[in-house]
Amino acid sequence: MTISEYRQICQKNEQENYFLDKYIMRKISIYFTILFIKLRFSANQATFLSLLASLGSCYFLMQNTPTAMVLGPALIFTYYMLDHVDGELARFYLKQGLQQPSLQGQYFDVLIHKYSTNLMLFFLGVSVYNLFNYRFAVILGFAACIGMSAFPNLLAAQVIVQKIARQKEAVKNETVKDILNLLEKKQEQIKKINSSNSMQKLKKVITELLFFPGALLSIMLVTLADIMFPPFIFFNYTVNVRLLFLLAATPIYLGNALRQTLKWLRKFQQIA
SS (H, E, C) 36-90: HHHCCCCHHHHHHHHHHHHHHHHHHHCCCCHHHHHHHHHHHHHHHHHHHHHHHHH
Considering the segment(s) 3-269 as one domain, its CATH architecture is: Up-down Bundle (1.20)
CB 17 within 8 A of CB 191: no
Residue spans of the chain under pLDDT 70: 272
Q: State the chain's mean pLDDT as an integer.
A: 92
Give residue 150's pLDDT.
84
Domain range summary for the chain, segments of one domain joined by +: 3-269
Give residue 191's pLDDT.
86
Cα radius of gyration rounded to whole Å, the chain: 20
Per DSSP (E only), the strands in the chain are 232-234, 237-239
Give residue 272's pLDDT.
62
